[in-house]
Copies of this chain bind each other. A is one copy, B any other.
Amino acid sequence: MADFAPQPVDPGRVDVDVGAGTLRPEGPTLVRRLSDLEGLFRDQDAWRRDVEDGDRVVYQVSSSRVPEEPRELPQSITTILPGTCGGELYMTKGHQHPDPQGEIYLGLAGTGGLLLHDGKRTEWVDMAAGVVGYIPPGWAHRSVNTGNEPYRFLAVYPGSAGHDYGWVVEHGMGSRVMRTDAGHRLVAWDG
């Protein structure tokens, strides 16, 4: 249970360690393996095989100590490892903000993409180091590693926005992102 009156946060310095993919001083770290991404890849047989065959880490999220509380502006670094499951590129679960507010991702290393879906429209933003991807309020978002190295980005988001992962399970993301010889391509959600 959260404290009734959250501790005020002091001003502070957070060091971005691009090589390690961490923010120091470190806050919570979250690791997502293939088994945590149940029902998200299209090829469920491939997913089950890959879970049994080592259950690889797909991504991890290293947060700063700024809490997810109203009026705060927390940050985190996400690292998505390179790989595919049934031809679909490794990706985050994706989420919608229950309290619709904008968010930014700043590419730090590797190459990837930001897939956005508002229930009708789907957008794709190519991401690399030095690129800000802007997620407007009301757009669900998922990140994808399109390269052969870890893809890493800094997220900055309002502490009251929240994370609704069920929205993506219910509505999908409009497109799936598949590995091709030339790199990647977007295909229809059920195609």
Contacts and interface: CB of A to CB of B under 8 A. Distances in A.
Interface of A: 8-16, 18, 23, 64, 66, 71-73, 75, 100-104, 106, 114, 116, 123, 125-127, 130-139, 154, 156-159
Contact of A9 (B15, B18, B133, B136): B136
A158 B160 CA distance: 12
Given A16-B106, A64-B132, A71-B137, 4 more contacts: A9-B136, A15-B130, A66-B134, A75-B104
14 contacts: A8-B136, A11-B114, A11-B116, A11-B134, A11-B136, A12-B133, A13-B127, A15-B131, A23-B132, A64-B134, A71-B102, A72-B136, A73-B101, A104-B156
Contacts of A75: 104, 132
Nearest to A130: B16
Contacts of A9: 102, 134, 136
A54 B158 CA distance: 42
Contact of A13 (B10, B132, B137): B132
B71 A159 contact: no
Contacts of A12: 125, 133-134
Nearest to A116: B11
Given A64-B132, A136-B8, A73 B158 contact: yes
Contacts of A136: 8-11, 72
